[in-house]
């Protein structure tokens, strides 16, 4: 029996156990979402404030939730604007600040949708290498020294998407100093901040020096994504400009969604939900690290201290496109590293562990290892 | 005692009875919103489909609601995209179809936010006079004959905002023939269609010849505005393009809002809500017409057969800016006609009767008449 026939038979024999396992989507599994708490919050919201829930409201958001967010961040309420998910916040901010040709610094790798959104606006995207302790600030300095005058630096400081890395305190301070000195705004994109399951929390750049920062976050990772509630915090004049753009785009984000989130926050359900999610993510991240160490001894990765993602670098020359296809045949999905950069990234991949149970992680990594073995043996077999 | 002192005293004496009365905002009053039905629908939605409510979903919308809308309009499900309110649908559509410099035909007067949105995109806005039976189609023909090649004609066919007028069947057919002949798209913007309280329903242009039409509507007027659920229906390739823009903007609209609307629709609450709203609006419209005939014998207006709005034309030369201020002093708000046109409209105003009770309408029109008397007598007094 040829190697290829054997592999083909093995694939077929995976049939009964090959329920699809997705490491692709950065989304929580249903078992770590507090559906009962959401249902109770909805009931409470319609009872407590029927007028506020059902009227148009305004583009700054549902007033009690806006106030709650302002208190959470210790800022004036006029610095807050609630949006239909935090990607909508990004879009409004870019509409306000980024013209075609404007330079914007982003991390390399970075969130693929941000990259698409900036490129779609014709921004001059400058990728700067991301290190395990955050963006390479010395490289940012070199970009500035070369005369680039960025409008924005987009930074995902905690448990970065896709890398899972966290920006150190000293780098936060150095970035803020550069922003002050060179007059650019740091766009601190921080949806994962509440999901630290190891190590100590670091102060937000917003809290260190708010004048240079626009901050975005979301309830997608602490309540649920389908509720679509994100927000911006920034200097009052900028928020007023964004509010005007938002009014002209959709009048207001869903008051019903926001009213539910508000009741979820004030009832204590949010804190309980965060504890549930952190405990589950911590276990999932540890399971994934252990499985990778066992099955991929030549892979490089950093154990995440929070969030949803792990970035895995395979030996130079690994064909991740081929790995993607071979994994798909085994019912395993991930996102190719090349999706998160302008070029390169061919030997890396992003694994999201947020939507998979520990059992699925073990099984998924085992299948992935099978796919890896297949793509490494294939060229040798072809040459034989 | 001088006239001005007397008026001033009269204004002060209005104090105890001068609770603000707003004819300004096109929004329903809380008493005609089925809050209990919404609460029950939320409960049912989280129970019936917790996964669908809490996951990101996709930009085409919550699948069961999308299917419900497709069946409602008798179109393929791939022709439907649900949005965060129908103004967001407009924005996505304009993003897809309207470049700076593109000609777009709109009604004169038309919805102020649409006008702002088109002008913000640098569209070449061509206003064509609105008559009581809809846009002046002969004038549209003259625009086309002059060589203008519009991308879109934006039409609010039923109970138009701001005029309250309805496009006749023969004009619908003539417009469709022009669209086919000249290759432009009719943007049929139809949020009020379900709110006919008099006369017979007319077929949508979408149902008459869908190939030339993109249709938008909303649940803001039949469920409530705060839920922010609107939608587009159009040719499948266009909807696919819009879906891509929507994904890149906000991933998806609120699944929670849409899940609640879906349960509201399928439980029968929607039909009951429409009956409640129509009965109330019919009474409000009649009360407003009668009050205007009593208090404003020289005003011209058409009794609406549905919807939220009445357009009132005062004698040429009436200073509606002054009327606005004098009315505001009396605690009455409306929107000036000039907001709904590119130029002109100085002697007209829009009265929304959707958010006021019959008692408030009577009192509000009485106060408005006082303001009208004041601005008419003021110049004469000054000249004396």
Q: What does the pLDDT read at residue A381?
A: 41
Strand partners, B83: B230
CA B351 to chain centroid: 12
Q: What does the pLDDT read at residue A379?
A: 57
Q: What does the pLDDT read at residue A4?
A: 47
Q: What does the pLDDT read at residue A377?
A: 87
Domain boundaries, chain B: 3-23+271-383, 35-267
Q: What does the pLDDT read at residue A18?
A: 72
Q: Which helix (H) or strand (E) holds A142?
A: helix A137-145
Q: Does the structure show a pLDDT above 70 at A14?
A: no
Lowest mean pLDDT among A92-96, A326-330, A380-384: A380-384
Share of chain A above pLDDT 90, in %: 92
Which of the four CATH numbers 3.60.15.10, 3.40.640.10, 3.40.50.10490, 3.30.499.10 does domain A36-267 have? 3.40.640.10
Q: Is the dihedral of CA B368, B372, B377, B379 positive or negative?
A: positive
ipTM: 0.93
CB–CB of B227 and A51 under 8 A? no
CB–CB of B251 and A30 under 8 A? no
Residues in A closer than 8 angstroms to B91, CB to CB, are 248-250
3-state secondary structure at position A153: strand
Residue A33 pLDDT grade (very low, low, confident, very high; cuts 50, 70, 90): very high
Residues A272 and A52: their CA atoms lie apart, in Å, by 26
Ranges of residues in chain B with a pLDDT under 50 are 1-16, 380-384
Share of chain A above pLDDT 70, in %: 94
Which among A116, A126, A71, A51 is positioned nearest to A90, based on CA atoms? A116
Cβ contact B127:B110 at 8 Å:
yes
Residues 182-201 of B with CB under 8 A from A: none
b/e string for B249-274 if b means 16 or more Cβ within 10 A? bbbbbbbbbbbbbbbbbeeebbeebb
Strands, DSSP E only, in chain A?
21-22, 80-83, 103-108, 124-131, 134-135, 152-155, 185-189, 213-218, 230-233, 309-313, 332-333, 335-336, 348-352
CA atoms lying within 13 Å on the CB side of residue A372? 21
Residue-by-residue DSSP string for B254-307? -HHHHHHHHHHHHTTHHHHHHHHHHHHHHHHHHHHHHHHHHH-TT-B----SBS
CB–CB of A255 and B30 under 8 A? no
Q: Is the dihedral of CA A189, A194, A199, A200 positive or negative?
A: positive
Residues A369 and A293: their CA atoms lie apart, in Å, by 11
Min distance B354 CA to chain A CA atoms (Å): 12
Residues B214 and B230: their CA atoms lie apart, in Å, by 13
Cβ contact A335:A111 at 8 Å:
no
Same fold for the domain at A3-32+271-378 and the one at A36-267? no
Cβ contact A243:A59 at 8 Å:
yes
Q: What does the pLDDT read at residue B11?
A: 47
Which of the four CATH numbers 3.40.640.10, 3.30.450.370, 3.30.830.10, 2.40.170.20 does domain B35-267 have? 3.40.640.10
Is B338 in CB contact (< 8 Å) with chain A?
Answer: no
Cβ-nearest to B226 among A85, A91, A255? A255
CB–CB of A226 and B57 under 8 A? yes
Work out the mean pLDDT of chain A and round it to a whole number: 94
Mutate to test the interface with B, among A249, A260, A269, A308 (most CBs of B within 10 A): A249
Q: What does the pLDDT read at residue B17?
A: 54
Residue A17 pLDDT grade (very low, low, confident, very high; cuts 50, 70, 90): low
Residues A41 and A248: their CA atoms lie apart, in Å, by 30
B219, closest residue in chain A (CA to CA): A54
Mutate to test the interface with B, among A254, A264, A276, A308 (most CBs of B within 10 A): A254
Min distance B137 CA to chain A CA atoms (Å): 29
Cβ contact A346:A337 at 8 Å:
yes
CATH number, domain B3-23+271-383: 3.90.1150.10
CATH number, domain A3-32+271-378: 3.90.1150.10
Q: For A322-359, what is each residue's pLDDT tens digit?
A: 999 999 999 999 999 999 999 998 899 999 999 999 99
Q: For A185-202, what is each residue's pLDDT tens digit?
A: 999 999 999 999 999 999
Residues in B closer than 8 angstroms to A43, CB to CB, are 39, 42-43
Residues in A closer than 8 angstroms to B248, CB to CB, are 91, 113, 116-117, 120
pTM, full prediction: 0.94
Which among B226, B231, B277, B233 is positioned nearest to B256, based on CA atoms? B226
Average the pLDDT over A131-150 and give the result: 98
Is A50 in CB contact (< 8 Å) with chain B?
Answer: yes
Residue B287, phi then psi, degrees to nearest 5: -60, -40
Cβ contact A206:A73 at 8 Å:
yes
Q: For A115-125, what is each residue's pLDDT tens digit?
A: 999 999 999 99
Cβ-nearest to A51 among B30, B38, B83? B30
């Amino acid at each position: 029996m040829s190697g290829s026939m054997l592999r083909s038979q093995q694939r077929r024999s995976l049939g009964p156990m090959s329920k699809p396992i997705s490491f692709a989507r950065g989304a929580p599994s249903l078992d770590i979402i507090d559906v009962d708490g959401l249902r109770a919050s909805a009931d409470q919201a319609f009872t407590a404030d029927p007028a506020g829930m059902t009227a148009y409201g305004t583009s700054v958001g549902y007033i009690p939730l806006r106030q709650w967010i302002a208190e959470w961040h210790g800022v004036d309420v006029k610095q807050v604007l609630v949006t239909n998910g935090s990607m909508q916040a990004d879009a409004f901010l870019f509409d306000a600040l980024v013209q075609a040709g404007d330079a914007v610094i982003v991390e390399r790798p970075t969130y693929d949708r941000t990259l698409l959104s900036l490129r779609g606006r014709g921004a001059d995207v400058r990728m700067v290498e991301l290190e395990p302790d955050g963006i390479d600030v010395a490289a940012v300095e070199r970009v500035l020294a070369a005369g680039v005058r960025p409008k924005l630096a987009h930074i995902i400081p905690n448990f970065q998407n896709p890398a899972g890395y966290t920006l150190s305190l000293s780098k936060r301070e150095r970035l803020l100093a550069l922003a002050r000195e060179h007059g650019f705004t740091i766009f601190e994109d921080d949806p994962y901040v509440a999901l630290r399951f190891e190590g100590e929390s670091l102060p937000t750049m917003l809290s260190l020096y708010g004048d240079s920062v626009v901050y975005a976050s979301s309830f997608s990772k602490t309540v649920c994504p389908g509720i679509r509630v994100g927000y911006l915090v920034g200097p009052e004049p900028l928020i007023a400009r964004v509010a005007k753009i938002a009014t002209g785009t959709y009048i207001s984000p869903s008051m019903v969604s926001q009213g539910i989130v508000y009741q979820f926050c004030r009832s204590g359900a949010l804190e309980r939900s965060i504890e549930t999610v952190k405990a589950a993510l911590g276990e999932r991240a540890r399971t994934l690290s252990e499985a990778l160490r066992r099955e991929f001894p030549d892979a490089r990765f950093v154990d995440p201290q929070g969030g949803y993602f792990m970035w895995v670098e395979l030996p130079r020359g690994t064909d991740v496109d081929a790995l993607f296809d071979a994994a798909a045949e085994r019912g395993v999905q991930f996102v190719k590293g090349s999706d998160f950069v302008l070029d390169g990234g061919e030997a890396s991949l992003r694994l999201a562990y947020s939507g998979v149970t520990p059992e699925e992680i073990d099984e998924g990594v085992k299948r992935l290892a099978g796919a890896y073995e297949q793509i490494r043996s294939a060229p040798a077999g072809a040459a034989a």
